[in-house]
Amino acid sequence: MSNKVTVVGSLNVDTTLRIKRMPLPGETLAAADKTSAAGGKGANQAVAAARSGAQTAFVGQVGKDNGGEMMIKGLQDNGIDTTGIRENDQVGTGSAAILLDSDGQNSILVYGGANQQLSVDDVTAAQQQIAAADFVIAQFETPQAATLKAFQIAKANGVKTILNPAPAHEIDPALLKLTDLIIPNETESASLTGIIITDETSMLMSAAKFAQMGVRNLIITVGAKGAFYCTQDGYNFVPAFKVNAVDTTAAGDTFIGALSSQLKPDMSNIEKALVYAQRASSLAVQKMGALPSIPTHEAIIAASRQ
């Protein structure tokens, strides 16, 4: 049986500008290429889950505009249930401008738009999709009040919650107490715990700090190095697969979505699911774009056999 995953989150139209290097303050550079594609942390995570075989539903908000139509169609094309997405005729669909240099590193500017209007009422209206899931995933490109409501519905129905605290900012302590698994990168982890990630000791200290805040299961992603996990059953650092990255956009989102498709709700197979997620992420960074780069289950399995 495949996992059922509901994502509460952001929907952005991504515009990517390819440049040789990042501009200096006051400097004008020519872009070699410009592309537009569906993206946003929420959409990326949902598509990654769906392409890895999870039955996926989405709760979010778009503008009543071309961008909104594009986002909904993009999700539907991946078999995602979009009945939990509301169209807002007052605010435009979220968007992101991505500067991508020749080394595959990016800088991203995000306009929240309709994402920032996602309300407690929107989430309540989608409680059926939340209650039916094995996992509910949320990030911080939509208001925390909406996420808190989603996690409250999840916990009332025995659904496991995954929080990706990105972009990092202060978290409502009540939200952390409702979080079963938190997945920050090393920068986000440091900003939330005050502990800089340097080695295994600092990672274990971070896990202890998150446990104090109420989150007992942790994965810290450390870019091209790999990922650390800590649950009540144990901990380990799992190295990443070595690849030549051309575009790191959506790498972390692919990891989270793919993980949610494979992880058992009791977290008993976390290392196996994490290796699968890292394989998915390693394939995503070898292609351009956010949604277009996210691999299917078949591609991930094929890469695992090589």
199 is in an annotated binding site: no
287 is in an annotated binding site: yes
The answer to whether the beta carbons of residues 200 and 179 sit under 8 Å apart is no
User: By C-alpha distance, which of 44, 89, 98, 97 is closest to 62?
Assistant: 89
159 is in an annotated binding site: no
Single out the catalytic residue among 77, 122, 253, 266: 253
112 is in an annotated binding site: no
Retrieve residue 107's tokens.
């800088």
293 is in an annotated binding site: yes
The answer to whether the beta carbons of residues 91 and 68 sit under 8 Å apart is no
101 is in an annotated binding site: no
Contacts with 154 (C-beta within 8 Å, 6 or more apart), sequence order: 130, 131, 133, 136, 160, 161, 178
172 is catalytic: no
Provide DSSP, 43-70.
HHHHHHHHHTT-EEEEEEEEESSHHHHH
225 is in an annotated binding site: yes
68 is in an annotated binding site: no
264 is in an annotated binding site: no
SS3 category, 263: coil
Tell me the C-alpha to C-alpha distance, in Å, between residue 196 and each of 21, 73, 188, 191, 202: 28, 41, 10, 8, 7
Pairing of strands 106-111, 94-100: antiparallel
**What backbone phi and psi angles, to 5 degrees, belong to 204?**
-65, -40
42 is in an annotated binding site: yes
185 is in an annotated binding site: yes
249 is in an annotated binding site: yes
Beta partners for residue 55, in sequence order = 4
149 is in an annotated binding site: no
Residue ranges for the binding site for ATP? 185, 221-226, 252-253
Binding positions for K(+) are 247, 249, 284, 287, 289, 293
Catalytic residues: 253
Binding residues for substrate: 12-14, 40-44, 141, 253
List binding-site positions.
12-14, 40-44, 141, 185, 221-226, 247, 249, 252-253, 284, 287, 289, 293
